Amino acid sequence: MARIVFDLDGTLIDSAPDVQGIANALLADPALTRPGARPLSLPETRRFMGEGVAVFVDRMIASRALDAGRRETIVARFLALYEDAVALTRPYPGAAEMLRQLASQGHQLGLCTNKPVAPARAVLRHLDMEAPFTAIVGGDTLDCRKPDPAPLRATFDRLGPDGPMVYIGDSETDAECALRADVPFLLFTEGYRKGKGGLSCRAAFSDFAELPQLLATFA
């Protein structure tokens, strides 16, 4: 059996609509931003995601020419809203069923995400997707985030020493993290990838029905 670690946002779930809602609530707050700040579109939101809340806020501030001196306040407000932002998030088709199938087959499943642990667990509970995971490492678990390989290595360590390793994600950040951790990488092509090429991966897939056959080469 394999040790299989997944990314979360853009890989198992599409959380961009909820993240967009947080961002636009903050942009509409005159105490935090400048009057008339334009809301983020959904494509912008997806482009800004993937490297943690602080980087998302940095990109939002730069795109709307906001006062960088309010960065820490905006980050704090974002985090305060994040755990309850689950209403619009949906799993990608087949993702939840695939997780249950893999767990029932005896694979050890982990999650390595740049989303903080509390919001990650909250959205997984909301979607009834938390149970299959033996280990969850978030963006605030260590003092670094992906693409630093340490969070991914820590996730595999929590799954135990036995079984081949594979990491599944959707983005340039995930691909770089897997490369730096020296772990085989499978790319889910329907997520938040910013470009269309140039990613190093063992294989790519667009439908979770394809995943068991790809994983059979690691088991």
**39: containing domain:** 16-82
User: 96 and 111 share a domain?
Assistant: yes
Give the pLDDT confidence of 14-37 residue by residue, as tens digits.
999 999 999 999 999 998 988 889
Is the confidence at residue 219, as pLDDT, over 90?
A: no
Residue 197: predicted pLDDT: 66
Give the pLDDT confidence of 123-154 residue by residue, as tens digits.
999 999 999 999 999 999 999 999 999 999 99
The CA distances from residue 108 to 2, 10, 124, 157, 204, in Å, are 6, 21, 17, 11, 21
DSSP helix/strand/coil, 160? coil
Query: Number of structural domains, the chain?
Result: 2
Q: Is the dihedral of CA 59, 65, 69, 73 positive or negative?
A: negative
User: 62 and 168 share a domain?
Assistant: no
pLDDT category of residue 198 using cuts at 50, 70 and 90: low
User: 190 and 207 share a domain?
Assistant: yes
The per-residue b/e assignment along 129-168, b for 16 or more CB within 10 angstroms, e otherwise, is: bbebbebbbbbbbeeebbbbbbbbbbbbebbeeebebbbb
User: 119 and 191 share a domain?
Assistant: yes
Query: For the domain that residue 115 is a member of, what is the CATH number?
Result: 3.40.50.1000
Instruction: Choose the final residue of a domain: 61, 82, 103.
Output: 82
pLDDT category of residue 217 using cuts at 50, 70 and 90: confident
Instruction: Choose the final residue of a domain: 66, 82, 98.
Output: 82
* Mean pLDDT for the chain overall: 95
pTM score above 0.85: yes
The stretch 162-177 carries a mean pLDDT of: 96
Mean pLDDT is lowest, of 48-62, 112-126, 148-162, 197-211, for: 197-211
User: 71 and 108 share a domain?
Assistant: no
The stretch 71-100 carries a mean pLDDT of: 96
- Would residue 7 show up in a list of annotated catalytic residues for this protein? yes
State the catalytic residue, choosing from 7, 9, 14, 174: 7
User: 54 and 141 share a domain?
Assistant: no
φ, ψ dihedrals at 160, nearest 5°: 100, 175
Instruction: Choose the final residue of a domain: 42, 67, 82.
Output: 82
Residue 194: predicted pLDDT: 84
User: 44 and 137 share a domain?
Assistant: no
